[in-house]
Amino acid sequence: MRRIRILLIGALVTAISGCQVKEESTQLTSTELQHLFSERTVESYNLVNGSSSFTYYKNDGKVLQKRYWEKRSGSWRITDNMICLQMEHKSESCRAVYLEGDRYYKYRTDDQGQPQKIIRYRQFLTGNRI
């Protein structure tokens, strides 16, 4: 009886570990980024500090954002499969966006040169919703 129980537990552990599926992630291309962000209000959740923001990406390269209950503006562009943002009085930053399962994430490179998820995009709404 004890041997059967051990075999069943071993089979269960094997079955459970066999179910662990590593999520595939795919970096979005410049064309995909343009389609996803252009003329949309995007809700972003910052995975580092827990804040949310809403950003409207205009076709003309301008961007409007509401963050911490304040509005700010800047510019955006797509280059080399990355989205680049430059907000008021800040330098431009370009980041890769990946699709993981059914969620979109923006990454940056951390101090050790490793990719770090920083933003989860929650929704993409048509038009200016700010």
d(CA 53, CA 19): 35
Tens digit of each residue's pLDDT (9 = 90 or more) over 24-72: 899 999 999 999 999 999 999 999 999 999 999 999 999 999 999 899 9
- Is the pLDDT at 101 greater than 60? The verdict is yes
Least confident of 7-11, 69-73, 98-102: 7-11
Tens digit of each residue's pLDDT (9 = 90 or more) over 70-96: 999 999 999 999 999 999 999 999 999
Let me know: does 121 contact 37? Beta carbons within 8 Å: no
- What would the DSSP string read from start to end of 2-14? HHHHHHHHHHHHH
Q: What is the mean pLDDT of residues 10-14?
A: 38
Strand runs labelled E in 16-90? 25-27, 40-46, 52-57, 62-67, 70-79, 82-87
The pair of structure tokens assigned to 15 is: 């079955």
pLDDT at 23: 61
